[in-house]
Structure 1
């Protein structure tokens, strides 16, 4: 029960600082929404679990696999572009 009592006090401190910053920042600058980075990680993970249900993957390995899929996709798109220009 003690950690729950501490959580609102931390939240209230953060809320006070946000309101003071928000009132000054709202007049001068607009906040831009961060663009979501699209990756193939969820699809790679689903396929991995289908093939090897008990195996996991590190974030570095997932990054490498994502780069691999992006590279292959770009190569296929480039080849499709070349083939379409022939006809």
Structure 2
């Protein structure tokens, strides 16, 4: 999966006058994929350890705090929470469906 478009958009939000070489973009993309893979793997381990069957935002937040150092973890959790809030507020049907599935899953445990 490529995140180059998103990396470029964030770069332009931070520094309008800076560009990125394609090799640097490739390295950045590999880094993002690696972090996502590690996050998914660690979250899966947490779910298994806690004898649950669903990865929730709690496992993702815990994993981010385990994988990323200090302020970077706090910032990542904050931005992730903001993104999920924005997404669920613009897609209320998905929010309620997700909430119903979460309740049903937790009632089974």
**Is it true that 1:61 corresponds to 2:24 in the alignment?**
yes
TM-score where L is the length of structure 2: 0.45
Displacement over 6 Å in runs of 4+: none
Q: Shift of the alpha carbon at 1:58? A: 0.6
Q: Unmatched 5+ residue regions in structure 2? A: 51-109
Greater C-alpha Rg: 1
**Is it true that 1:52 corresponds to 2:15 in the alignment?**
yes
User: What is the distance in 1 between the residues matched to 2:27 and 2:40?
Assistant: 20
TM-score where L is the length of structure 1: 0.56
User: What is the distance in 2 between the residues matched to 1:42 and 1:68?
Assistant: 15
Greater helix content = 2
Structure 2 counterpart of 1:72:
35
User: What is the distance in 2 between the residues matched to 1:71 and 1:82?
Assistant: 17
User: What is the distance in 2 between the residues matched to 1:57 and 1:45?
Assistant: 8
Structure 2 counterpart of 1:86:
49
- Which fold has the larger relative contact order, with Cα–Cα distance below 8 Å and residues 6 or more apart in sequence? 1
